[in-house]
Chain A
Amino acid sequence: MADDKDVLRDVWFGRIPTCFLLNQDEVTEREAEPYYLLLPRVSYLTLVTDKVKKHFHKVIRTDDAEEMWFEYEGTPLKWHYPIGVLFDLHASNTVLPWSITVHFKNFPERDLLHCPSHSVIEAHFMSSIKEADALKHKSQVVNDMQKKDHKQLWMGLQNDKFDQFWAMNRKLMEYPTEDGGFRFIPFRIYQHSLHTFIATFLLCFVPVSAVCSYCSDTRSLSSPTLSDRPFIQKQFRPVSPEGHVHTLGDLLKEVYPVALPNEGGPKRFQVVIHGIEPLLETPLQWLSEHLSHPDSFLHICVIPVPSD
């Protein structure tokens, strides 16, 4: 459908106007001008901020400079989360541009993973794709691809090439017609919550890419709270065995009912994907095919309804 293809493009080309400011405590040789950038929602901070580093390296003492890291209103920003997720989670109802503070010292070892090169981002990205395909297709599609196909997915993201990326990604979005959808839907649900010791402790673990899976694996049987883990991830089918097509609302009811309003009660939370609130009646399979990030996961942010 022509409309659906437009959705893919709109998702890919989503941008967040951002203002990068140098941390005031950094010692500078002259005044540091802010740096403005349109950040792609679907990419990762450390992949698209080489220019930011260059800009601020002109004014700071580069001998002292350590790995660059970012923070928003006191919260270190995890580079291994897609940029759009970080924005929706932390700053969605604030005035644009998004103001991010840049640091070159005191790297928060307990909160952030190091990102010494783009290869690390690639490994993390490909690992997410493979995990998503394990859920969708028992890894059959991604394993049938050649190394150059995997490289094409990464290069497409790195170089912002929609056609190059989707030429390969469409294979990951196919499914046998008789199944009506993927085996399980790859999704992660985040809530803006307090940083606890456990969540930050988990971030110190290697391997980088598996930290996310690790956090989702330690879930509790009782109604899941996000107080001690960064996100919820579970096995969830797009179609029930009886043929009932599952919606976004069905997913939330099953894995995170807190997000939904009580019977007749007020709406307390916004369920946000790529900065918008899809209708809860939207089929989950359609969301997975069209609103997933390039890593093949549906990243869903649950944030409190703004009080004003």
Chain B
Amino acid sequence: MSLCVLDEEKFHLCCQLLLQLSEQLGDGWSWEGGQEGYLRKTALRSVVIDSSSVWDYEGGGADTSCPSRSEQREGEQEQANVDASADTDSIKGDMEDEDEDEDDGVCVASAGSSQLLQYEYHILHSCSYSTPVLYFRACTQAMDLSPLSLYSASDSLSSA
């Protein structure tokens, strides 16, 4: 298994490129935290939520015998977006190939069983794995920001 590494300097370079592209496309990414900060984006989506929001994780830790599937791009000039994958062991379902290039359509809370959800994404550099890591959070618009259960959110997340 070849170990791809992205050192912090290269990560910063890629982030700056992504930010430039994001600004051109109106994609909403920003940089937080100064010198050693992270990429951030929030988004609102109207989605249909499964009413049975039970956090059922009977599978235990993810298949721990696989090598790390973290992927990252090298600092290519023409890259359209950073394909940052999350840590293999994170409790996230099948999030590895989430496409960062989201379309920012108008968001309307439709009637019926759909809800307005707030998503927040952070991409930062992991010093342990020398790769970018994606962190995300999905919660209802309510002020208490109670996080959604994994399974009720995963369907909407992969399309977000």
Q: Do A and B bind each other?
A: yes
Is B13 an interface position by the 8 A CB rule? no
User: A218 vs B8: C-alpha distance in the bound complex, in angstroms?
Assistant: 12
| Closest CB in chain A relative to B3 CB, distance in Å | 6
Is B133 an interface position by the 8 A CB rule? yes
| Closest CB in chain A relative to B75 CB, distance in Å | 19
| Closest CB in chain A relative to B77 CB, distance in Å | 26
Q: In the assembled complex, which residues on chain B have CB atoms less than 8 Å from the CB atom of A213? A: 87, 126, 128, 133
Nearest A residue (CB) for B147: A204
User: A116 vs B150: C-alpha distance in the bound complex, in angstroms?
Assistant: 12
Q: In the assembled complex, which residues on chain B have CB atoms less than 8 Å from the CB atom of A125? A: 61
What's the A-B contact tally at a CB cutoff of 8 Å? 131
User: A135 vs B127: C-alpha distance in the bound complex, in angstroms?
Assistant: 9
Please state if B133 and A210 are interface contacts (CB–CB under 8 Å).
yes
Please state if A126 and B129 are interface contacts (CB–CB under 8 Å).
no
Is B50 an interface position by the 8 A CB rule? no
Is B52 an interface position by the 8 A CB rule? no
| Closest CB in chain B relative to A119 CB, distance in Å | 4
Nearest B residue (CB) for A207: B90
Tally of A interface residues using CB under 8 Å: 44
User: A147 vs B63: C-alpha distance in the bound complex, in angstroms?
Assistant: 7
Please tell me which stretch of B19-27, B34-42, B100-108, B109-117 contacts chain A, meaning at least 4 of its Cβ atoms lie within 8 angstroms of it.
B34-42
Write the A223-236 contact mask toward B (1 if CB under 8 angstroms, else 0): 00000000001110
Chain B interface, DSSP helix/strand/loop, else mixed: loop
Is B124 an interface position by the 8 A CB rule? yes
Closest 5 pairs (CB-CB, A-B): A207-B90, A127-B89, A123-B61, A126-B61, A150-B64
* Chain B residues proximal to chain A, CB less than 8 Å: 1, 3, 33-38, 55, 57-68, 86-92, 122, 124-129, 133, 135-137, 139, 144-147, 150
Given contacts A143-B67, A213-B128, 12 further A-B contacts (CB under 8 A): A120-B57, A123-B91, A125-B61, A127-B87, A130-B68, A131-B128, A147-B64, A206-B150, A209-B90, A213-B133, A214-B133, A217-B124
- Enumerate 11 A-B pairs (CB-CB under 8 Å) in ascending A order: A116-B55, A120-B57, A123-B61, A123-B91, A126-B64, A127-B61, A134-B68, A150-B61, A206-B150, A217-B125, A217-B133
